[in-house]
Structure 1
């Protein structure tokens, strides 16, 4: 069968061209278009289809009426039937209430870091004022500024840490849901269990590390597992620092109180460092580095080339003649040396 056909402009039938092209359709007596290959794409055909209204022969165009031009038609896929091609409906995603606060996790951690750094600097500024006060009096305005900064950042930093903890808990719930859904199962932990284990003081020193370890799966990535372990150890250590700072505040002597101020500043700076460590751990679990860029994988390739000899092998030198060698043999050796 010939691969060159002539389509009919009226009924759409295709007639194979055997010899000379025809002009009229044998079925409906419509006009046959010019020959072309059956599988020719639309941009390589020497004809095109034109859509007209059914009453285009009877209607008379009004010379005065001008309709505004609409937008240029654009199709996202090949039309199958009719001229109306509505865009495909986007799949509706269920609204999750925890997703909004989980998306603000990084900004809250950065805000917590800045707040704790300022709180630590305020405590060390108070300690310097105490040292200066041993020799001379401190102006009232300077003491007022010190008190204001200590109280402001001393309250603001824990509040930021609390909001960041709630955001991290929401992120943990969403991340566990995504991981277990990909495995075809449901999260074995209830939502209230995750919230209580992450937000109740004392209990949250143990359970967040357990929840994160379960998030890694049965075959965890060594890099992610190491990040979780480092974060878990730092989290337990930070809890001990907070407890020690609270107990040190109740000291009776002046020197112990001054040392407590210095230790509180150190605790605030450690909390700022822990916030940065938390941001690093979370982004490591998401396959990113601390700055948020995708982490690149380093692969070691086994060399298949043969080993190359860098140092030439040593060859044994000439053997020394014994003392009783003959005169003829000595002359022969000298001739060989001269020839070389």
Structure 2
């Protein structure tokens, strides 16, 4: 251990210091203690010095030898309860239908917002085409042209962002709705998740595979035999046609943008307007399809019906039962 000793801080003072306890000054020659209260008057400074011999050694921990399991003179009365091993509690698995419903609500809202933005973009393109026609005869006000350009830019970028968001959520909802349909029918889907994503994204496949996926979900929701070929309803056929027309027209508009000339630019404005209107119609029909398929996948609720067994007229004739009538007990 370090040597801790008390040493006076300086030389002998010429005058005794005042006592820190009673505050009185001791007369000269009274010694190191206060003659009034007996407290030590010398000021000390505590100095810690290492022990002689260099660096101190760390304490040695005693080593205990293993002597076997514990032994008791009597049978212990304590112990664990006689229960089976439970382990860590597993997280409760959320059903696929509930996970699909969590995606369906924001997708429904985003589809309607995207439809509104697409209509605004179509109106902006129509206004631009009208201004192009009017500019052939006379100059246009700079403010009106600037407003048209801003409306076209806002509608184009906002509708593009909405379509990308709707596409991501639609793919996610399709994956979860497919799992819910498989749980409902007790089957396993033949397509892996990567094939489903590729069917929505890869050009060419996105013309046929999305409709087939939705038709399979509808087939399972209607509790039809799994081995039977899916027959899409009229609503799904309408959606499929709008979706395919939108994909084809989008490719045409993209390729048309590489053409040069004034007339090609004017025709491109009309094609953009038609594409925006078609996108708005597809988004609104997708909302109906989404709600329709989600309702099909939900479990059927029991319907309680009241059946009239017999009707008795008031009065003494109530005791007599009419011929052919059934009286409930």
TM-score, normalisation: structure 2: 0.54
The correspondence of residues 143-154 of structure 1 with structure 2, limited to 5 A, is: 143-154=145-156
Q: String of CA shifts for 1:110-140, please: whole Å, max 9, x gaps.
A: 0110111011011011111111111221222
1:242 equivalent in alignment to 2:273? no
Give the corresponding residue for 1:264.
272
Give the corresponding residue for 2:88.
none
Give the corresponding residue for 1:61.
none
Give the corresponding residue for 1:225.
233
Partner of 1:94, secondary structure, is coil
Q: How many correspondences in the alignment?
A: 199
Give the corresponding residue for 1:25.
none
Distance apart, 1:222 and its partner CA = 9.7
The answer as to whether partners of 1:102 and 1:170 remain within 8 angstroms in 2 is: no
2:124 aligned to 87, 100, 122, which one?
122
The answer as to whether partners of 1:173 and 1:194 remain within 8 angstroms in 2 is: yes
The answer as to whether partners of 2:215 and 2:230 remain within 8 angstroms in 1 is: no
**Separation (CA, whole Å) in 1 of partners of 2:203 and 2:163:** 13
Q: String of CA shifts for 1:224-254, please: whole Å, max 9, x gaps.
A: 6222222212211111211222233333331
2:176 aligned to 174, 177, 186, which one?
174
The correspondence of residues 193-232 of structure 1 with structure 2, limited to 5 A, is: 193-215=195-217, 216-217=219-220, 218-219=224-225, 225-232=233-240
**Separation (CA, whole Å) in 2 of partners of 1:93 and 1:165:** 26
Which gives a bigger RCO, structure 1 or 2 (Cα 8 Å, sep 6+)? 2
Distance apart, 1:100 and its partner CA = 4.3
Point out the structure with max Rg over C-alpha: 2
The answer as to whether partners of 1:198 and 1:207 remain within 8 angstroms in 2 is: yes
Partner of 2:115, secondary structure, is helix
Give the corresponding residue for 1:161.
163
Distance apart, 1:213 and its partner CA = 2.1
Give the corresponding residue for 1:64.
none
The answer as to whether partners of 1:116 and 1:268 remain within 8 angstroms in 2 is: yes
Distance apart, 1:268 and its partner CA = 0.7
Q: String of CA shifts for 1:54-83, please: whole Å, max 9, x gaps.
A: xxxxxxxxxxxxxxxxxxxxxxxxxxxxxx
Partner of 2:233, secondary structure, is helix
The answer as to whether partners of 1:115 and 1:156 remain within 8 angstroms in 2 is: yes
Give the corresponding residue for 1:133.
135
**Separation (CA, whole Å) in 2 of partners of 1:156 and 1:95:** 34
Classify 1:208/1:222 alpha carbon distance in 2 versus 1 (closer, same or farther; 3 Å): closer
Distance apart, 1:141 and its partner CA = 2.2
Partner of 2:94, secondary structure, is coil
**Separation (CA, whole Å) in 2 of partners of 1:284 and 1:192:** 25
**Separation (CA, whole Å) in 1 of partners of 2:278 and 2:135:** 27
**Separation (CA, whole Å) in 1 of partners of 2:230 and 2:294:** 14
Q: String of CA shifts for 1:12-66, please: whole Å, max 9, x gaps.
A: xxxxxxxxxxxxxxxxxxxxxxxxxxxxxxxxxxxxxxxxxxxxxxxxxxxxxxx
Classify 1:192/1:103 alpha carbon distance in 2 versus 1 (closer, same or farther; 3 Å): farther
1:187 aligned to 171, 186, 189, which one?
189
TM-score, normalisation: structure 1: 0.53
Classify 1:103/1:191 alpha carbon distance in 2 versus 1 (closer, same or farther; 3 Å): farther
The answer as to whether partners of 1:122 and 1:149 remain within 8 angstroms in 2 is: yes
Query: Which runs of no fewer than 5 residues in structure 1 stay unpaired?
Result: 1-90, 289-340
The answer as to whether partners of 2:95 and 2:180 remain within 8 angstroms in 1 is: no
**Separation (CA, whole Å) in 2 of partners of 1:222 and 1:205:** 17
97-106 or 248-257, which moves further after superposition? 97-106
Give the corresponding residue for 1:79.
none
Give the corresponding residue for 1:331.
none
Distance apart, 1:194 and its partner CA = 1.4
- The alignment's C-alpha RMSD in Å is 2.8
Give the corresponding residue for 1:282.
290
The answer as to whether partners of 1:238 and 1:270 remain within 8 angstroms in 2 is: yes
